[in-house]
Amino acid sequence: MSAKIKIATTSLAGCFGCHMSFLDIDERITELAEVVEFDRSPLTDIEHCGPCDIGLIEGGVCNSENVHVLREFRKNCKTLVAVGACAINGGLPALRNFVSVEECLLEAYRDGIGIDNPQIPSDPELPLLLDKVHPIHEIVKVDYFMPGCPPSADVFWTFLSALIAGREPKLPYELVHYD
């Protein structure tokens, strides 16, 4: 049991599509489960990750909570992997970087369709928003980048198989071309 490779995964400012693509390994999940144990992940009920071998991060950084989660991952994971366009360069959510947050807030609260009781949610339970969406390498050191939106299931499979076997991962051209 304890000889298993420990993997943690999380989604920051992403769409969950990278996690879905990971699950697209389909039945191979049973093979993976033989050698891997999942720590914190949307698939388990573990809320904070402990020491792990591999951390997979989907999504960029858009609020203070994302920063905390990312730092926790970096601290605990020997190898940290930026998964997908959002983690690597902010991806589609980073389109927000072209709009001033102030403008964005004002327009939304004055002009939203069908809005009742206009006010800006302001509760200590809500994390603070950053003014820009950042790729994760701007906050922590990243060991590998797995490109795609999302990377295909075969990218996950090839990449993880290599890491688990202790090899340097190499992705053939067919797996990293863009469509």
Partner 1 sequence: MYEHLETAANPAGLKRVVVDPVSRVEGHGKVTLLLDAENRVQQARLHIVEFRGFEKFIQGRPYWELPVLVQRLCGICPVSHHLAAAKAIDQLVGIDPADLPPAADKLRRLLHFGQVLQSHALHFFYLSSPDLLFGFDSEIGKRSVVAVLADYPDIGLQGVKLRKYGQEVIRMVSGKRVHGTGAIPGGMNKALSREERDYLLQDIGQIVDWAQAAVALIKRVHGADRAFNDAFATIRSNYLSLVKADGALELYHGGIRAKNADGATLFDHYDYCAYPELIREEVRSWTYMKFPYLTALGKADGWYRVGPLARINNCDFIDTPLAEAARVEFKQQLADQGLVHSTLAFHWARMIELLHCAESIQALLHDPDLLSGELVAQGSKRYEGIGVIEAPRGTLFHHYQIDDNDIVTKANLIVSTTSNNTGMNESVRQVAAAYLSGRELTEPLLNQLEVAIRAYDPCLSCATHAVGKMPLQVELVDAAGQVVDRLTRHGNGEFARGDAG
Residues forming contacts to ligand SF4 in the complex (CB under 6 A) are 14-15, 17-18, 58-59, 84-86, 91-92, 149-150
Q: Is 90 near partner 1 (CB under 8 A)?
A: no
Q: Is 6 near partner 1 (CB under 8 A)?
A: no
Name the amino acid, one letter, at 179: D
Among residues 131, 165, 172, 176, the one that binds partner 1 under rule CB under 8 A: 131
User: Which of partner 1, ligand SF4, none does 90 bind, CB closer than 5 to 8 A by kind?
Assistant: none
Cis peptide before 172 (omega within 30 of 0): no
In angstroms, what CA-CA distances link 155 with 38, 80, 86, 162, 169?
A: 19, 16, 16, 11, 10
Q: What's the closest the beta carbon of residue 25 comes to ligand SF4, in angstroms?
A: 15
Among residues 5, 35, 63, 169, the one that binds partner 1 under rule CB under 8 A: 63
Q: What's the closest the beta carbon of residue 132 comes to ligand SF4, in angstroms?
A: 16
Cα–Cα dist 78/81, whole Å? 10
Kindly compute the dihedral angle of the four CA atoms of residues 7, 89, 151, 33, in this order, to the nearest 10 degrees: 0
Among residues 3, 47, 170, 178, the one that binds partner 1 under rule CB under 8 A: 47
Only segment of 38-46, 49-57, 74-82, 160-168 that touches partner 1 (CB under 8 A): 38-46
Q: Count of CB atoms within 10 A of residue 125's CB?
A: 5
Q: What's the closest the beta carbon of residue 169 comes to partner 1, in angstroms?
A: 21
Q: Is 164 near partner 1 (CB under 8 A)?
A: no
Cα–Cα dist 112/47, whole Å? 35
Under a CB-based contact definition with an 8 Å cutoff, are residues 39 and 52 in contact?
yes
Using alpha carbons, select from 38, 140, 21 the residue that is nearest to residue 80. 140
Q: Which is nearer to ligand SF4, 84 or 135 (CB)?
A: 84
Site size with partner 1, rule: CB under 8 A: 71
Q: What is the DSSP letter of 30?
A: H
Q: What's the closest the beta carbon of residue 87 comes to ligand SF4, in angstroms?
A: 7
Q: Is 24 near partner 1 (CB under 8 A)?
A: yes
